[in-house]
Every structure is written in structure tokens, then in C-alpha cells.
Amino acid sequence: MDATLAALADPTRRKVIDLLREGPRPAGELAQAVQMSAPALSRHLRVLRAGGLVRAEAGGADARLRLYTLRQEPFAALQAWLDQVQAFWAEQLGSFKDHVERRQ
């Protein structure tokens, strides 16, 4: 949970996540997409790997390429925590909820 949110805190890493939503991509292609040097992005990918958000698999044809793919678990865990937090409002159905909505 800590590693997950720390990884997602960086805009570059979130952009990588968004790029990987469209399918697995090699590291170099990601670096080009975020306008950043390969070493810089490599460390971002390291953070994402450490948090378990992505996984690197060997590219079939060219063994030099490392194809990165999204992993499911951390996102599911984060969503579970979010559901717990949002229960705060679900449980408040009476005057307090009205109060909150008025204030917003």
C-alpha cells in the first residue's frame, strides 16, 4: 500500500501506467513517450516494479527488449482501501450527509 501510492505519486509514473493501459511496451518506447532519458525512466520503472504495479517480460523476438505490463494486485488493493474510505459517506444518510452536501 505504501509502495503503491508512493509509486503513483509521480506524474511521470502515472503517465507510464496510462500508456501501458493500451498494452505492453518496451522501456525505450516508454522513455520516448514521456520525453525523458532512458536511465531516468529506467529508475521510474524500477519503482513501479518494486511496488508490483508493473512486470517486465522478455520480448519474444528481440531478447534485448523488456516489455512492461500492468499488474493487477496493487490496483485492486488500492480500490479496496478506497471503498473503505468511501464507506464514510455511505454510512451517513441522515442530517449529517445533508450538512456535508450543503457545505460543498
Partner DNA sequence: CACATCGTTAACGTCGTTGTTAATCTTTGC
Partner DNA sequence: GCAAAGATTAACAACGACGTTAACGATGTG
Binding site for DNA (CB under 7 A): 6, 9-10, 12, 26-29, 31, 36-47, 56, 59, 62-66
Nearer to DNA, 17 or 36 (CB): 36
Helical spans, DSSP H, in the chain: 2-8, 11-20, 27-33, 38-50, 73-90, 95-103
Q: Which of 63, 76, 93, 95 binds its own copies (CB under 8 A)?
A: 76
CB of 72 to its own copies, least distance (A): 6
User: Quick check: 44 and 13 in contact, CB under 8 A?
Assistant: yes
| Interaction of residue 104 with its own copies, rule CB under 8 A | yes
Comparing CA positions, the residue from 84, 82, 52, 79 lying closest to residue 68 is 52
Whole-number minimum distance, CB 1 to its own copies, in Å? 8
Residue 44 binds which entry of DNA, its own copies, none, CB below 5-8 Å type-dependent:
DNA
Q: Rounded to an integer, what distance in angstroms lies between the CA atom of residue 80 and that of residue 36?
A: 33
